[in-house]
Structure 1
Amino acid sequence: MDASSGSGSSPSTTQPHTSSPSKTPIIHEEVVDIGGKRKKVADVWSHAKKIIKRNDKNEVIAVVAVCNYCKTEVPAHSRTHGNNGIDGHVKKCKKNPHNAVKSGSSQPILTQSSMNNALTPHIFNQKKLEEKVVAFVVKDEMSFRVVEGAGFVEMMKEAQPRFKIPKRKKIASLVWELYAVEAAKIKSVIGDQRFKKVFGRMTENVQFVEYFEEVDGLEKKKRVGPPMEKDWEKAQVFVNFLKRFHDTTLQLSATKKTTSPLIWEEIVAMRIVIDETILDTTDPSLQEVAKRMESKFKKYWGNLEKVNKLIFLGHILDPRYKLQMIGIHLGDMKLDASKIQSFVDSLKNCLMELYHAYKGNSPLDDINGIDDGDIDKDLMEMYKNDPIKLNYHLKMTQVRKTQKQAEITNEVDKYFSDPFVKWSSSFDILEWWKGNTTTFPVISKIAKDIFSIPSSTVASENAFSLGRRVVDPFRASLHPKMVEALVCTSDWLRGEEINLYKEPTEDEFNFYKDCEEVVTSK
């Protein structure tokens, strides 16, 4: 029935249980919680609220929807009006800040709904468009800086002039946020299964492997499909083998400390792991993987003459290593003694050339060196879990004992002839060179420039990929966590959606209809 006569400016409302609202004054208004326990709520209810009006007998007089912006009341009874009235009002409401259609341009813009021969208005949303740009970067494996490219900027200005193109740093931040959202969805589906990263799980909790063989405490059933004993053994072997490469990637991807002195030492450590695995015949599958990795290793690091000399200079400018450790490394790589000496001399000559280039006409200074110190407890503690590196340092200690004092003719000779720096877990190479600027004024400038070069530009992930390109050069220079976020999010976004909706039968449909009528009649 028409209720317009009873409320003045208010629009007509539905009166399911009364004959005339003018004879039955409204004494109570109840705001309905639209969310409740329903699985899905129409978007319109984020812009309006539903109100049930009752009389003094607690009978329903009208059900209306009130616009949050202009407070206009629109009939909204579920059986007679539904959401269509308020939905149409919200889209046209002049006070709605979400309506981007200006007064001079009311023509609808074609969207995907036009495929069904229907026109729907498109509302510009900065945040949603940013999300689409992030999805574009992730799905198509684009660089973050693509949003700053001239072509992309021109295209977006033509497509949507009001869109404020985010900078690449914001895109990276949005990628991480999207990864967190998608990861949370995955976790909500699989539940709390105590999953951890493979290296942490396999290396720290090996004793809990029997968990998969236990009987579920809740359902009293044995867990379906646990890995077999051989599977666990193979997984453990591969984890131990790959842990070196995982740790190396994290070491060289650091951004808050210098990593140039670490590159060569980590490369040699990886070579030792590969060689030892190839010689181990107990696991043919792992041996085959190591052989394939060796071929990749030789491609990038096999010919020392082609390796960037800055990698070696960063190593020898560490006052704890100098030239001795490189000689030991090359010896373990089965190089002839003559070739080792020749290569070490070439590195010294390279540093000498840089020295003369930096030196110019500055005078040389004769300044005493620093005190020496042999290997101590700090060194043992530092490498207690890394026997490969500890073995090298022990060898270097023996070399030091037999070293002959060289004639000091310049700053380079003085640096190599001075005592080695004492080993300490708190040693800071940048602070050491800063404190020895007066002792080595020229070499300290060389060290400053070399140590400022990030080692993350070396695409170690790509170098040890067994298949085709998995991580492109752009992503190979990123931190492993960001690479994980990009790869996983890309996979999740590309995945097909699973439709869990089941079309109700006729009996079920009638049952739901009866339930709705019972609820609305109360």
Structure 2
Amino acid sequence: MLEHACKFEKAFDLFEVRDPFYKVELGNTPDCVDWKNGKKMCQVLKTFYELTVKISGSLYVTSNAFFLEIAQMLVLLKGWVRGSALDVRPMGLKMKEKFDKYWGDPTKMNKFIFFALVVDPRYKFKFLKFMLEESYGNEIGTSLAASVKDELYALYDEYKALYQPSNDHSIEVESSSQQEHDTPYLLVDKYEKQIMLEGDDVANDLDVYLNEKERKVPNVKNFDLLTWWKVNEPRLPILAKLARDVLSVPVSTVASESAFSTGGRVLDPFRSSLNPTMVESLICAQDWLRMGKDPIKVEEDLESIRKHEEALKILGVGVVINEESNQAV
């Protein structure tokens, strides 16, 4: 509202000059000081607006950007507190106090918001450590970064125990094949079994991922994180499963509330016999159709709709004839 209002500053000034009843009818009217404060407030609130829109999305991953936005907001509030502008500093102090109530102690934060940033190939662990040190000081940042790394490796070990292929089957095959003297033991099979047995000595997915350089993404703004992990899943199979589970956690309740609202419109008192599977299918299909770039224009498809209706009528007549002749369709 402020952004649109500031565009009409000159229009209000001209209106005051041409209409003698301008101030009489409107009462309090904005002067030059009000317009200046409005523009400054618009710049302040724009940061919060962009942050809210970014983390409230429901068609893309939001968990990887959450802590990055928190750190940037902390740096911004610190700048307002230290700034020389007297009109911004009191507001910055109050906002910094509210910020510290929820995000002042990083040790109380859920570690998943840190994990989500680490599994983003544009940032990884080095960037997380840098942000923690810049936001909360070197001592707290370094200690927290080490704690996050230890817990991430512990979580990876749990996924490794669940999804790493077992070597028991290969050992059984080897023992059974040795008992059959008449069956030649192929050298290739023996080599593959040896590689499987030595799998524990090879560096795990997490080590490979953290030690490689950050991969440059051509278009960072439209970067699809889930597609990146889908492409790199053959190279990092266990870590890809962990990343998908971590990134699936939304940081806002907007998506859940939107799903309930959409469900209420799909399942109404006049259409209440749909089963849960059909309701889920309708909601998902609606999202997929809305994601399309080309809008649906019914006016351009009237001919195809007419042909479809004629086909349905013909099908209905055919069913009646078959029913009268007691023949199954």
Distance in 2 (CA, whole Å) between partners of 1:437 and 1:446 is 11
Deviation at 1:341, TM superposition (A): 2.5
Task: Among all aligned residue pairs of Structure 1 and Structure 2, give the percentage whose two residues are the same amino acid.
Answer: 29
Report 1:356-395 matches (<5 A). Answer: 356-360=157-161, 362=164
C-alpha distance 273-220 of structure 1, shift in aligned 2 (>3 A): same
Which of 443, 446, 454 lines up with 2:239 in the alignment?
443
Whole-Å separation in 2 of the counterparts to 1:347 and 1:235: 42
The structure richer in strand per residue is 1
Return closer, same or farther for 1:352/1:247 CA change in 2, 3 Å cut-off.
same
**Structure 1 position 315, deviation (Å):** 0.7
- Distance, in Å, in 2 between the alignment partners of 1:258 and 1:476 is 11
Return the alpha-carbon distance in structure 2 between the equivalents of residues 288 and 477 of structure 1. Answer: 36
Aligned runs of 1:211-290 on 2, under 5 Å? Answer: 211-215=11-15, 220-221=19-20, 223-224=22-23, 225-284=28-87, 286-290=88-92
The one-letter code sitting in structure 1 at the alignment partner of 2:218 is: S
Match of 1:454 in 2: 250
Q: Could you tell me whether the CA contact under 8 Å between 1:260 and 1:455 is conserved in 2?
A: yes
Closer, same or farther: CA 299–248 of 1 in aligned 2, 3 Å: same
Structure 2 CA distance for partners of 1:346 and 1:432, relative to 1, 3 Å: same
In the alignment, the residues of structure 1 paired with residue 214 and residue 238 of structure 2 have an alpha-carbon distance, to the nearest angstrom, of 19
Instruction: Look up the match of 1:198.
Output: 2
How many residues in Structure 1 have an aligned counterpart in Structure 2? 218
Aligned partner of 1:255: which letter? Answer: S
Determine if the alignment matches structure 1 residue 354 to structure 2 residue 150: no
Q: Does 1:419 align with 2:222?
A: no
Q: Tell me the secondary structure at the aligned position of residue 15 of structure 2.
A: coil
Q: What is the CA RMSD across the aligned residues, in angstroms?
A: 2.7
Q: Which residues in structure 2 correspond to 1:425-504 (within 5 Å)?
A: 425=219, 426-457=222-253
- CA spacing shift, 1:222–1:329, aligned 2, 3 Å: farther
More helix by share: 2
> Following the alignment from structure 1 to structure 2, what is the Cα–Cα distance between the partners of residues 320 and 342?
23
Which structure 2 segments of 5+ residues have no match? 167-201, 262-329
Deviation at 1:222, TM superposition (A): 6.1
Per the TM alignment, residue 283 of structure 1 is displaced from its structure 2 partner at its CA by 2.7
Please tell me whether residue 301 in structure 1 is matched to residue 103 in structure 2: yes
Instruction: Check if 1:315 corresponds to 2:117.
Output: yes
Does the residue aligned with 1:215 lie in a helix, a strand or coil?
Answer: helix
**Which secondary structure state, in structure 1, belongs to the residue aligned with residue 124 of structure 2?**
coil
Q: Please list, as runs of the form range in 1=range in 2, the aligned pairs for 1:118-157 lying within 5 A after superposition.
A: none
Q: Is the 8 A contact 1:253 1:478 kept in 2?
A: no
Change (3 A) 1:429 1:236: same
Tell me the distance in 2 between the aligned counterparts of 1:352 and 1:410. 10
1:165-203 C-alpha deviation (Å, 9 max, x unpaired): xxxxxxxxxxxxxxxxxxxxxxxxxxxxxxxx223444x
In 2, distance between residues paired with 1:306 and 1:243? Answer: 28
Between the aligned partners of 1:246 and 1:335, the Cα distance in structure 2 is 27
Q: Specify the alignment match of 2:275 in structure 1.
A: none
Conserved? CA contact 2:61–2:248, under 8 Å: yes
Compute the TM-score of the two structures, normalised by the length of structure 1. Answer: 0.39
* SS of equivalent to 1:257: coil
User: Structure 2-normalised TM-score?
Assistant: 0.60
Separation in structure 2 between the aligned mates of residue 305 and residue 476 of structure 1, nearest angstrom: 27
For residue 2 of structure 2, what is the amino acid of its counterpart?
V
Shift of 1:289: 1.8
The residue type equivalent to 2:14 in the other structure is: E
Larger radius of gyration: 1
Name the CA shift for 1:443/1:476 in 2 (closer, same or farther; >3 Å).
closer
Structure 1, unpaired ranges of 5+: 1-196, 365-407, 458-474, 483-522
- Is the 2:156–2:242 contact (alpha carbons within 8 Å) kept by the matching residues of 1? yes
CA pair 227-477 structure 1, distance change in 2 beyond 3 A: farther
Helix, strand or coil for the counterpart of 2:252? helix
Letter of the structure 2 residue corresponding to residue 341 of structure 1: T
Contact 1:412–1:443 (8 Å) recurs in 2: yes
* Deviations, residues 303-346 of structure 1 (Å, cap 9, x unaligned): 1110010111111110010012222212322512x433222221
Q: Which has the higher contact order (CA 8 A, sep 6+)?
A: 2
Inter-partner Cα distance in structure 2 for 1:429 and 1:417: 19
Report runs of 4+ in structure 1 exceeding 4 Å deviation.
Answer: 475-479
For 1:106-125, what aligned pairs fall within 5 Å after superposition?
A: none
Which one of the candidate residues 333, 338, 342 is aligned to 2:135?
Answer: 333
1:427 Cα deviation after fit: 2.1
Contact 1:278–1:287 (CA<8 Å) still a contact in 2?
yes
**Equivalent position amino acid for 2:148 in 1:** L
Write out per-residue CA displacement over residues 465-520 of structure 1, whole angstroms, 9 at most, x where no aligned residue. Answer: xxxxxxxxxx89868xx9xxxxxxxxxxxxxxxxxxxxxxxxxxxxxxxxxxxxxx
| Contact persistence 2:2–2:39 (CA under 8 A) | no
Match of 1:516 in 2: none
Q: Name the amino acid aligned to 1:444.
A: A
Equivalent residue, structure 1, for 2:204: 410
Measure the CA separation in 1 of the matches of 2:83 and 2:256: 32
